[in-house]
Amino acid sequence: MKRLLMIVMMLVTLVTGVFGADKSFEKIQKNGKFIVGLDATFAPMGFRGENGEIVGFDIDLAKEVAKRWGVEVEFKPCEWDGIIFDLNSGNIDMVWNGMTMTEERKRQAAFSEPYFTDGQLIFSKREAKVNKVAELEGKVVGLQLGSSADYAVQKSDVFSKIKEVKKYATNVEALMDLEAGRTDAVVVDTVAGKYYNSKRATLTYSEESLTKEYYGVAMRKNDKALVEKLNETLNEMKADGTFEKISEKWFGKEEK
């Protein structure tokens, strides 16, 4: 009898694990929406346009996913340094905002498959260009608190030789301080720095990159069904040309 009871309990556990544990995607369908957390100053991935509406590459991707799922998407600006906490606290369902997939972040959240490749460049004034990572020695360097640039600078060989690292709430604040002469350089995601500079053309950037990085959409560790569904939908968008169309809107046509 004991042996039979043990077998029954094992079967119940197995069935529950396979069919009943993760209803993360079903929850999205039931709620009729999912909430995306972001730093609403990270152009061109997600930022406020001229009329105050949140727009960007990641925004268009998320809207297309919501359309295909038959639900709405809500965009919720968050403090970047605490955005993983917002995710795991249930305040948001995803972080979809050019988030680099680092080993530390992978310990705190589950990620989609990589959907974008980027890196960390050094931006400086044209008249005092910083072209190599080693040239940060003795400089005052700005970056966004808790960003991939923050991690990249700390891990670089030149970190101990930097005069001062100034940390900002947003990349835009860091770049504006650079223009004002309060820092010598800013380390920032390539895509964000180049987009910012395309509107002003006051800065230049280094030939050498600190890192090569991959962006992913972060979700809670237990939301495996949601991760799987998002990967499936993004792959469908790539296969039917929708992903490329959105990319061309924000970054132009890629040279073949």
Residue 21 pLDDT: 63
Q: Which residues contact 180 (CB under 8 A, 6 or more apart)?
A: none
DSSP letter at 172? H
Residue 19 pLDDT: 44
Termini Cα distance of the chain: 69
Q: What is the pTM of this model?
A: 0.74
> pLDDT of 163-173, one tens digit each?
999 999 999 99
Q: Per-residue pLDDT averaged across 103-129, rounded?
A: 95
pLDDT surpassing 50 at residue 182 = yes
pLDDT surpassing 80 at residue 5 = no
Give the CA distances from residue 240 to residues 65, 96, 134, 234, 248, in Å, rounded to whole numbers and listed in that order: 13, 21, 44, 10, 14
Task: Give strand pairing partners of 144.
Answer: 168
Q: Per-residue pLDDT averaged across 194-205, rounded?
A: 87
What the chain holds in terms of domains, given with CATH numbers, is 23-116+213-251 (3.40.190.10), 119-212 (3.40.190.10)
pLDDT surpassing 70 at residue 3 = no
Read off the pLDDT band of 17 (50, 70, 90). very low
pLDDT surpassing 90 at residue 28 = yes
Mean predicted lDDT score pLDDT of the chain: 90
Task: Give strand pairing partners of 189.
Answer: 120
Residue 200 pLDDT: 79
Q: Please give the Cα distance from 41 to 216 (Å, whole number).
A: 18
Residue 197 pLDDT: 87
Read off the pLDDT band of 153 (50, 70, 90). very high
Q: Per-residue pLDDT averaged across 40-59, rounded?
A: 94
SS3 138: coil
Look-up of token digits 């972080």:
95
DSSP letter at 114? -
> pLDDT of 78-115, one tens digit each?
999 899 999 999 999 999 999 999 999 999 999 999 99
Residue 143 pLDDT: 97
pLDDT surpassing 50 at residue 158 = yes
Please choose, from the candidates 20, 17, 61, 54, the residue with its C-alpha nearest in 3D space to the C-alpha of residue 38: 54
Read off the pLDDT band of 18 (50, 70, 90). very low
Question: Angle 170-176-181 (CA atoms, 0-180°, nearest 5)?
Answer: 130
Residue 15 pLDDT: 43
Tokens representing 110 are 């589950």
pLDDT surpassing 50 at residue 6 = no
